[in-house]
Amino acid sequence: MKIIKAPETMTSKERVRRTFAFEKTDRVPIGFDTNPVIRKNLCHALGIDEKDNDALLDALGVDTRPIGAPYTGKPLFTAPEGRRVDQMEGCLMRWVEHGSGGYWDFCDFPLKDATDEMFEKFPIPSPDDFDYNVPLEVAKRYKGKYALYVGHPGVPDVLNSNGRIMGVEDVLCNLIMENDAAIDFMKRRAKFQLENMARVVEKCHKEMDFIWLGEDLGTQIGPMISLDLYRATIKPIHKQFADLANAYNLPCIMHTCGSSSWAYEDFIEIGIKGVDTLQPEATNMSPAYLAEKFGGRLNFRGCISTAGALAYGTAEETEKVCKDTLEIMMNVRGYHFAPTHQIQDNTPVENVIAMYNAAHKYGRY
């Protein structure tokens, strides 16, 4: 098995920058998000050393690479036996096995039913405790070859990231009931994330190409919160990050799972330039709907469902889904080919290879 790549007349950096500007490119930019099992299976199928991540991404034609500052401070949290803890968040995880492998699932929720004092004392990293020379060194090592970004779908991700710490139900109740201690905690976490990102951008903006944010706003059938609640509590936080991106003339893309297009006009208003994930099976998230409503005003990244033909169909069915999506999205330009989420462990490797071959075959302008 192999990936048959499209002829290229642009660097990845040029391709991504022009796509954000809705300009014609040689092919669509390509992204890759996956669980470790799929990554391992792909490396074996393509004859690539598992340790050589760039070799795998190059074989697939992936145009982007992340940069970020590593944490150098003291450990803020300890994990009980049988648990793992995230040092940036304090969320706890337990290992859950399934037929195709396993994953670390969030559990225990240390701030569930928290008192005001618990919110006040819960550790939040300091932006001073990071090495901001590292992302610049990485950017220079890539020498303008790839499109570089800072951030990820977990920043600021107010609903989801705080849900990992206190549980989603508590997050929603605290927002709706205007719990000052909980909301202050959420804002302090976002402030740390913003300052951390700002320092990376200040150091590396000449080498960077976009900023990546996230906020899971939808279920499969509709909004998770009301538009009024979004505007009152979360949108002002999003605007701070969008303002940072716009201050450096960098496009900003927002990861939004589920039915999230109800918030896209507000995204456009605060200067967000693109949206990611785009689960086509969710309400008002099909490629045709997005292209009609927001084409030419937002970049689109994703739309290749990880819960459809890719996971449960054949290679031929996967190719058709990719071809159909590309035909719709390429008409409005500004499209970045990618899965809707991390490709899951039960996905046949043949389908993943068919997906990326389709990107190169049908994604040419």
pLDDT at res. 215: 97
Which among 344, 341, 339 has a CA at the least distance from the CA of 60?
A: 339
What pLDDT is stored for residue 101 in this prediction? Answer: 83
Residue at 92: amino acid letter: L
pLDDT given for residue 263 in this prediction: 98
- The amino acid present at 176, given as its one-letter code, is I
Q: What is the pLDDT of residue 159?
A: 97
Contacts of 179 (CB under 8 A, 6+ apart): 173
d(CA 186, CA 280) in angstroms, rounded, equals 30
∠ CA 70-74-76 to the nearest 5 degrees?
Answer: 100
Q: Please, is 63 exposed, middle or buried when counting C-beta atoms within 10 Å of its C-beta (0-12, 13-18, 19+)?
A: buried
Q: The domain 12-75+113-362: what is its CATH number? A: 3.20.20.210
Q: How far is Cα of residue 32 from the mean position of the Cα atoms in its chain?
A: 10
Instruction: Give dist(CA 318, CA 315) in Å, integer.
Output: 5
Give 166-170's long-range contacts (Cβ < 8 A, gap of 24+). Answer: 166/109, 166/110, 166/111, 166/112, 166/114, 167/109, 167/112, 170/109, 170/111, 170/112, 170/113, 170/114
Classified as helix, coil or strand, 53 is helix
Give the C-alpha distances (Å, rounded to integers) separating 104 from 113, 165, 205, 241, 314.
23, 14, 34, 29, 28
- Average pLDDT over the chain reads 97
> Structural domain boundaries of the chain?
12-75+113-362
Give CA torsion, residues 108, 109, 114, 119, to 10 deg: 140
246 and 203 Cβ atoms separated by less than 8 Å: no
pLDDT (0 to 100) of residue 297:
98
Cα–Cα distance between 353 and 56 in angstroms, integer?
12
Contact 271, 243 (CB under 8 A): yes
| Torsion, Cα of 301, 307, 308, 312 (10° steps) | 140
Residue 85 three-state SS = strand
Low-confidence ranges of the chain (pLDDT < 50): none
Cβ atoms of 161 and 89 within 8 Å: the answer is: yes
C-alpha span between 243 and 252 (Å, rounded)? 9
How high is the pLDDT of residue 288? 98
CB 54 within 8 A of CB 362: no
pLDDT at position 99, please? Answer: 86
Write the pLDDT tens digit of every residue in 47-92: 999 999 999 999 999 999 999 999 999 999 999 999 999 999 999 9
Find out whether 365 and 29 touch, Cβ atoms under 8 Å. no
DSSP SS3 for 114:
coil
CA-CA distances (angstroms) from residue 25 to 13, 22, 30, 329, 364? 11, 9, 12, 14, 8
Specify the pairing of strand 101-107 against strand 147-156.
Answer: unpaired
How confident is the model at residue 100, as a pLDDT? Answer: 82
Looking at residue 295, what is its pLDDT? 98
